[in-house]
Amino acid sequence: MLRCLSRESSAVRWSLSKYVNPPLPWLFMGLGNPGDKFKGTRHNVSFEMIDALADSLGISLNNVHCKALFAQGFIGNVPIFLAKPQTYMNLCGTSTGPLAAYYKLPLNRVMVMAFRGRGRGRGFGGSDFKFVKPESFVLFPVSI
């Protein structure tokens, strides 16, 4: 009898764990440059990716939070945050870091999408991430 109760209690504990320990959210940051001058340029392809993701989920980036256009939603049961910093790319860390800190996200739950230039061996780094260390989060390079 005791063994049976033990199994039942562990089954109840297991089924409740999805409510007690909800999945960790993801923060998707699309980097680009704000303003009409840069709209539709290759540097803002990550902004367009965030917009497409938001459209597919039926949410809109109509809030401003930590210097970024911001939205919240779900993919399945996983909470997600979408953000488009409204600083220039070389200052993206002034938005990325504070958003991750505000939601207490480990940096491995932050996906940064950024245009990766071609030619001359250009990659990420230098002034692209002035206030953020690219090795500390998930970097999703976008080439066109």
91-140: per-residue pLDDT in tens?
777 888 899 999 999 888 988 887 776 544 444 544 445 545 555 666 66
Which positions ≥6 away from 8 have C-beta within 8 Å? none
Mean pLDDT score, 26-54: 90
Domains of the chain: 23-142 (3.40.50.1470)
Residues annotated as catalytic (active site), given as ranges: 43
Alpha helices (H) in 21-138, listed in sequence order: 45-57, 93-102
